[in-house]
Chain A
Amino acid sequence: MGVLSPSDIWTGDYLVENGLISLPQLDEASDLAEQWDSSLSDVLMSRRWVRPIDYYRALADRFGIDFVDLRADPPDPAVLSEDEVERYARELTLPWKRRGNRLVIATARPGPEAILYARSRWGSEIDIVLTAKFDILWSLQRIFGDAHSRRAVHELAELDPEMSARTVFTRSQILVAWAMLTAFCLGLCLAPVATLIALNAVMGLFYLGNFVFKGILVWFGARRQQDNATALDAEVRLLRDEDLPTFTILVPMFKEPEVLPILAGALRRLDYPQAKLDIKIVLEEGDHETIEAAKALGLEGIFEIVRVPASQPQTKPKACNYALRYARGDYLVIYDAEDQPEPDQLKKVVVAFRQSPDNTACIQCRLNYYNAEENWLTRLFTLDYSLWFDLMLPGLERLRIPIPLGGTSNHFKTGVLRELRAWDPFNVTEDADLGIRMTQKGYRVGVIDATTFEEANVSQSNWVRQRSRWIKGYMQTFLVHTRRPIHLVRTIGPLGTLGFIFFIGGTMLSGLLNPLFWAIFGFWAVTQTSGFDIVFPPLLLYMALFNLILGNGMFVYLMMLAPFRRRWLSLVPFSLTVIWYWALMSVAAWKGLWQLVTKPFYWEKTHHGLSKFTAGEVAEALRPEQAPA
């Protein structure tokens, strides 16, 4: 339990005396500040009990120092350093301007600590003025926005080009592809049957490896999950609020005003000291619609709107890279706009980080859907996600195979994220890429039993758009990390490499190849032609048969098992219809491949808020807001 600082005690009394808060509010805020080991101001802001501007003006009066409005009188860029921006944001203290020989420091956290910090940073020739927290953040963005935007786009590509997808195909990759194609053509001319048999054998072995690998993953992924989950729950119960670190939550959004209330409601429900939350709603500068909607919600002081300057590519990773500059938390998580994380998720993550080895850089939580039962597609999508997050990712973790992070709910150590130059804005599955990159750089990714519920796509065309982006991103990721095959094997090990090839490569390649084999099988089944016999010598035929029967059967079966952990058994019979889902996946795979060549960095936008469940959620989320009116 923390102790309220003397300056907080004085400030609290002063706010009550001036009628800005009531005495019961002060008592409650003081209790919470002690319980959370936070400052009184953070608690008051997080509860919306006082308007920030009133608070800071009152504070200036109380301390007898000037209050400056940084919007009207912005800082002098000459006294600021771009490299210090992260520190300015974290400490909420920055040099404002020079007055003669003295440097004037603006802070939103007045008190002895801020003075000591300012003196240690800028010497004793300083004056202190007071300003508002959001004004500091706003000023930094205004001054450094363009530079940060440029760095958000190009930093990784310039400083670690081998890890960036800005170059889609490297020269050596093109050369290898050309050589393989030439060899194939030569083979077709010189020994056509043998060449086709060889190709068939390679594809057959790939299928065999793919389904054996995924079967092993599920077996290992499902082991001892309940024990681990129970242990994690117990550890969470032992946590004390005062020991919890500040947590940054990034919520990148683009033209999704309708789901904002759900998001705000879900984040308010988080079981975490609100004063220790640093929530940034990351919006594109030109997305006035969502910006206005966010303003209209009148969000608490823990929410901050970050406007990302317009630049290309206009992708989610670029927006996140930009917002990362202003993150104040020790840990950082990304949620999508319609996400509903389980309330204790952040606490579980803190426990998981503390129990994990030091090199653990990321904890991936599970994703699933709250509208699973809406239609056939949402049911199949739920089965797919359950298989992926509940069974396969834990399997990857157990077998120490690089984990391609899911789109949201991946929690990072902020320092490591910055060290790795965060997300690749040219990769449209930047999270998957980051997971692999982390492993290559010697960091570990963990998976825990905490779920974030999202909105499953309800329309097949929207689903294909989303999936085509994912598969294109997997292709980009595969291309990036196989540029240096020996380096890959050396950094993630032979098993890791094999897992990477089957998990990332297998997912995209099976989508591409399936239609070909379905067509061959369908044609053969209808016509009973013996034309294919020549490329299916007995051994290959038996392997193909094995793959066809056991492989397909096993994948259907895995889909069947997927909802079992959550006891969503009403979904089980739908796994029998997965063949059409696979067909859709193949459509998406071919679309992704086409886009990889024609517009590799194009972000195929998924439309959210189409579900009737989401409409209900919005209404539910808005209800408490409307009640007072």
Chain B
Amino acid sequence: MSAVAATLPGIALPRPTLPERVRPRGAATSPLALAVLFGLLFAVAALGMIRETGPFAGWQPTSGALVGRVLLGADGKMTVGELIAAYPPLAVLPMIGLRAPAVLIGVTTGELFSALLGGALAGLWLASLLQAGYRRGTALVLAALLVGNPLFLGALAAGPETALALLGAWVFAMGAFTLRSRGSVNDLITCSGALALLFFAGPLGGAFACATLPFLLLLKPADIPARSAPSIYLVLLFPVIFGLAGFVFVNWMMLHDAFGFLHSDIDLATRRIGQSWRTPVIPVLFAVACAPALVALFVVARGRRPLQAVASALLGTLLLAVTLALQSGACRSPVEALCPAVSLAAAAAMRWPPQRSRPLRVALLLALSLTGGLSALLTQGRISPETGATAAASEFTGLRRSIAEQALGRFLAGRSDVLIDAAAHPAVVAARGGAEGLVTGNDTAFALALLRKRIATRAVAVAAADPSRTEDALSRNLPDLYASGAPGLHLIYDRDGWRVWSRDNKEDPRP
């Protein structure tokens, strides 16, 4: 057993299910080397793929904000406190750490982070398949089917939050299988840690974590009585609950607003779910098509209740997660919401019961999963309007605003001495490519502008007042700025609720 595989969450058991081959001396390390090589190669390939997003273009509604915050933090325009007080908090600090190498190789930190995470997942999947007893050739084919799945590639293209959600979903699924069958402390740690990872990874992960709630009881080990279910829930959810409480405290401490992070899309998404519920039927059907391994596992595991219980729990979670993600507007594309299916398919392949026909069956199911993902991707333009849910949710929540901010960011690229509350609109910074040249919340000039109610910069970008969003300091403190500008300023940009006023010669404000 390789050292790395042995330390992977939940991989230690079950033991290899197929007869072990006699390995030559020194062969023990080669699976590890193979997995690392595979992961590295995939990371490089993924980076190239992410740069040319192709069919995944426009999948970046949330990571824009994340990348923007990272850029602001890296340029010293946001304090670490502000960075960690914003949702999602997990990827921010590692991404800041990746800033230098990303600049060196000419990519964005988000792209590099996603590619590295994809590479790590590819390596882990290969190692886990080998650990599960598949022969090397078979394992390589299965791993290739998994990483070649458009859902996986799309998740990486969608950004760090979606990629992290994939990792979280896989770790959770792996832990779920062993928790139900073995019920050890490590399985609990794996599952509860994965739930925390999912919850704080981003909106899609959050939707997935919430979707697990009705199904957690199915993961209860058989030797634990039903009356202990509340304790199981408490242990599994404690990291999420305590993390959330900690997040509230950090917001209170750093921003003096305990629920400041809720002013983002989260409250809107929650309200949206509460106001009208429309099950996105076609994406839910696609979810089944993208994870046929779970359905097949349920059938194949007849007589093995633990396997069946977990397979049904994961399938139920996936369907509910897709519904929640689309209903809340957490995902721009319905196909993005389907991405965790590939992680669940991977886990199912690794936990497939020992059978002589296992390699062929699993390969076939993963190929079906790949086909399902491809079909979803090719028809994504039709799925969205048909369900209506995504479009409606997007109208209601952040999608439209996100598009507007990206457009403004592109407009501001190359302009300097621009006053803007960038911390409230980090997607603008992401689309602009950096925070250099922006006068933002942490700059003295920004504070002076608010105090003196006078604009001293060359330009100012201001959003229309939005009753549902109060975090923009400019529109809050200078309520007339959007409508009337300021003395000496001309309107040079007016689009989707954003205006840019400038001292420069008058430009045509129309897009």
State the A residues within 8 Å of B (CB): 218-219, 222-227, 391, 538, 541-542, 545, 549-550, 553, 556-557, 560-561, 564-565, 567, 569-570, 572-573
Contacts and interface: CB of A to CB of B under 8 A. Distances in A.
B242 A557 contact: yes
A557 B184 CA distance: 15
B246 interface: yes
Given A549-B246, A561-B185, A567-B223, 13 more contacts: A219-B186, A222-B184, A225-B184, A226-B184, A545-B253, A549-B242, A549-B249, A553-B242, A553-B246, A557-B239, A564-B185, A569-B228, A570-B231
B234 interface: yes
A527 to B, nearest CB: 14
Contacts of A549: 242-243, 246, 249-250
B235 A572 contact: yes
B223 A542 contact: no
Contact of A550 (B13, B185, B232, B246): B246
Contacts of A573: 230-231, 234
B231 A545 contact: no
Interface of B: 12-13, 79-81, 84, 182, 184-186, 188-189, 192, 223-224, 228, 230-232, 234-235, 238-239, 242-243, 246, 249-250, 253
15 contacts: A219-B186, A222-B184, A225-B184, A226-B182, A227-B13, A542-B84, A549-B246, A553-B246, A556-B242, A557-B242, A564-B188, A569-B228, A572-B235, A573-B231, A573-B234
A385 B182 CA distance: 23
Contacts of A561: 185, 188-189, 235
Contacts of B12: 223-224
Nearest to B79: A538
Given A538-B80, A549-B250, A569-B228, A560 B189 contact: no
Contacts of A567: 223-224, 228
B509 to A, nearest CB: 41
A543 to B, nearest CB: 11
In the A-B complex, list the 3 residue pairs whose CB atoms are closest, starting with the nearest.
A549-B246, A222-B185, A572-B231
Contacts of A560: 234-235, 238
A569 B231 contact: yes
Contacts of B235: 557, 560-561, 564, 572
Contacts of A225: 184-185
Nearest to A557: B238
Contacts of A227: 13
Contact of A565 (B185, B238, B242): B185
Nearest to A553: B242
Contacts of B250: 545, 549
Contacts of A556: 238, 242
Contacts of B230: 573
A564 B190 CA distance: 14
Contacts of A550: 246
Nearest to B185: A222
A556 B12 CA distance: 26
Contacts of B232: 569
A572 B184 CA distance: 15
Residue from B185, B189, B223, B228 whose CB has the most chain A CB atoms within 10 Å: B185
Contacts of B188: 561, 564
Contacts of B80: 538, 542
Contacts of A557: 192, 235, 238-239, 242
A573 B234 CA distance: 8
A366 to B, nearest CB: 14
Contacts of A569: 224, 228, 231-232
A391 B185 CA distance: 9
A536 B189 CA distance: 32
A409 B243 CA distance: 39
Contacts of A541: 81
A550 B223 CA distance: 31
A391 to B, nearest CB: 7
Contact of A223 (B186, B242, B249): B186
A592 to B, nearest CB: 30
Contacts of B239: 553, 557
A379 to B, nearest CB: 13
B242 A572 contact: no
B37 to A, nearest CB: 27
Nearest to A565: B185
A223 B238 CA distance: 21
Contacts of A219: 186, 189
A617 to B, nearest CB: 26
Given A545-B253, A553-B243, A567-B224, A218 B231 contact: no
B2 to A, nearest CB: 16
Nearest to A576: B234
A380 B439 CA distance: 54
Contacts of A564: 185, 188, 235
Nearest to B9: A219
A541 B186 CA distance: 31
A542 B185 contact: no
A572 B234 contact: yes
A609 to B, nearest CB: 31
Contacts of B231: 569-570, 572-573
Contacts of A553: 238-239, 242-243, 246
B15 to A, nearest CB: 9
Contacts of B79: 538
A564 B232 CA distance: 9
Nearest to B6: A223
Contact of A570 (B84, B228, B246): B228
A212 to B, nearest CB: 14
